[in-house]
Amino acid sequence: MVIDVVGAGSLGLLYGGKLQAAGYPVRFWTRTSEQAEKLRMYGLDIMEQGAKVKLLPEYIQAYPISELSARWHHQPGDWLLLMVKQTSIDEVLHIMKTMKNHLINIACFQNGMGHIEKIHAAMPLSHLYRAVTTEGAKRVENGVVRAGEGETWIGRGVHSTALQEGTKGNLEDISLEVLLQQAGFNCTVSNQIDKLIYRKLLINAVINPLTAIWRITNGELLQNEQRITVMRQLYDEAAAIYKANEIILDFNMWEEVLSVCRSTATNTSSMLADVMHGRRTEVESISGHIVSMAQRTGLTAPLHETMLHLIEGIRPEGVS
Ligand SMILES: NC(=O)C1=CN([C@@H]2O[C@H](COP(=O)(O)OP(=O)(O)OC[C@H]3O[C@@H](n4cnc5c(N)ncnc54)[C@H](OP(=O)(O)O)[C@@H]3O)[C@@H](O)[C@H]2O)C=CC1
Ligand SMILES: CC(C)(CO)C(=O)C(=O)O
């Protein structure tokens, strides 16, 4: 059993680190040789609930992504956990192009939408799984902090590679579920993964751009009426677009949005973190996706489109 973790950032280090700590061989694939070298030299600290687990350097397998294809052909992995951001998907797929004729079990953890179609086009023989998680991971010097223990759901969305009932895919679902459970994640296989993805998309589309524009934590969104009014307007616009696209969510989504703000009150949203570090954000796959969904059904999404332009407009200078 070999698990490849592509992208050794917050989520990659948390999942990869905990899988390795549970005894599964993990290979980390990093963007730079420097990060791979550092992991091999210092090991990896995983901090959760005030305790620290140290993965010793001699047990760490970390390599630059440029070596993925050659090493994978020499020793194929059983699972590939794709843990880069939406903004790095094209680059990673370009690097993986010599692996396109292989069947690889790929679990995709990205927030936002649009990546599965791209990955499917580039890796047509692979089995693609969507993963949604409410874990909170934060990369720190030589390690990662599990900021909030959440839930992880995995499944095959309707847009993923079609698999017939009873084929290997179902067994693979279970095996990844078990691996993640043994590593200490609250993980379930879901046959409603698309619903969960759309649920997360709506939450991200309301919370992320506003926290990034106002530079506030998720909890601070609820601290005055003006903020809640704009959140509600974004929510209502998205809800109408979901309805037109026949996406029915069973949950009371407005309550869910408020509840996520409360349960992650002290979080810096991922979009705010990206803006503050001058990185590209995932806004195109979040607000941009809501705009595309509106266009598909002859609607408009003026508020989400404005969010898209406001966030994209922060680059290239950034905001100090
Ligand atoms: N963090 C969290 O708690 C959660 C994150 N997510 C989602 O998970 C995804 C990953 O998020 P997160 O871990 O926070 O992001 P990070 O930015 O912390 O990690 C992404 C990692 O990918 C690396 N990377 C970029 N390009 C490449 C490449 N070409 N090859 C290999 N590695 C590459 C980056 O390297 P470098 O640093 O060198 O640029 C970085 O280490 C996002 O879509 C996010 O929305 C979902 C739920 C929770
Ligand atoms: C749920 C939320 C808003 C938590 O911070 C998130 O997913 C993000 O920051 O991207």
111: Cβ below 6 Å to ligand 2?
A: yes
Atom of ligand 1 nearest to the CA of 12: 13
- Global model pTM greater than 0.90: yes
What's the pLDDT at 252? 87
Residue 170 CA: distances (Å) to CA of 2, 106, 127, 216, 252: 19, 14, 11, 42, 30
Q: Domain for residue 319, yes or no?
A: no
Q: Considering all CA atoms of the chain, what is the largest pairwise distance in Å, rounded to the nearest integer?
A: 58
Same domain, 297 and 173: no
DSSP E strand stretches across 141-180: 143-148, 151-155
268: Cβ below 6 Å to ligand 2?
A: no
Same domain, 198 and 186: no
Asked if ipTM goes beyond 0.95, one says yes
Same domain, 68 and 82: yes
pLDDT tens for each residue of 1-45: 999 999 999 999 999 999 999 999 999 999 999 999 999 999 999
Q: What's the mean per-residue pLDDT of the chain?
A: 93
Domain with 259, as residue range(s), is 194-312
User: Is 162 a residue whose pLDDT tops 50?
Assistant: no
Measured in angstroms, how far is the CA atom of residue 85 from the centroid of ligand 1? Answer: 5
Ligand 1 residue neighbourhood (C-beta within 6 Å)? 6-12, 29-32, 35, 65, 83-86, 88, 91-92, 109-111, 133, 135-137, 139, 270, 282
Q: Ligand 1 pocket test: pick from 15, 18, 31 the residue with the most ligand atoms within 8 Å of its Cβ.
A: 31
Number of domains in the chain: 2
Q: Domain for residue 287, yes or no?
A: yes
What gap in Å lies between CA 277 and CA 273, rounded to an integer?
6
User: Is 169 a residue whose pLDDT tops 70?
Assistant: no
Which ligand has the nearest atom to the CA of 4? 1
Q: Ligand 1 pocket test: pick from 203, 211, 270, 281 the residue with the most ligand atoms within 8 Å of its Cβ.
A: 270
Measured in angstroms, how far is the CA atom of residue 186 from the centroid of ligand 2? Answer: 18
Which ligand has the nearest atom to the CA of 30? 1
Q: Domain for residue 252, yes or no?
A: yes
pLDDT tens for each residue of 179-223: 999 999 999 999 999 999 999 999 999 999 999 999 999 999 999
Cβ neighbour number for residue 175 with a 10 Å cutoff: 15
Q: Are 157 and 113 in contact (CB under 8 A)?
A: no
Same domain, 203 and 181: no
218: Cβ below 6 Å to ligand 2?
A: yes
Same domain, 122 and 167: yes
Same domain, 264 and 176: no
Same domain, 12 and 115: yes
Measured in angstroms, how far is the CA atom of residue 102 from the centroid of ligand 2? Answer: 33
Same domain, 27 and 136: yes
Single out the residue in 166, 191, 216 at which a domain terminates. 191
Which ligand has the nearest atom to the CA of 210? 2
Same domain, 224 and 269: yes
Look at ligand 1, atom 41, and give the residue with the nearest C-alpha: 9
10: Cβ below 6 Å to ligand 2?
A: no
* Residue 255, burial from CB neighbour count under 10 angstroms (0-12, 13-18, 19+): exposed
Look at ligand 2, atom 4, and give the residue with the nearest C-alpha: 269
pLDDT tens for each residue of 286-308: 999 999 999 999 999 999 999 99
285: Cβ below 6 Å to ligand 2?
A: no
Q: Are 106 and 76 in contact (CB under 8 A)?
A: no
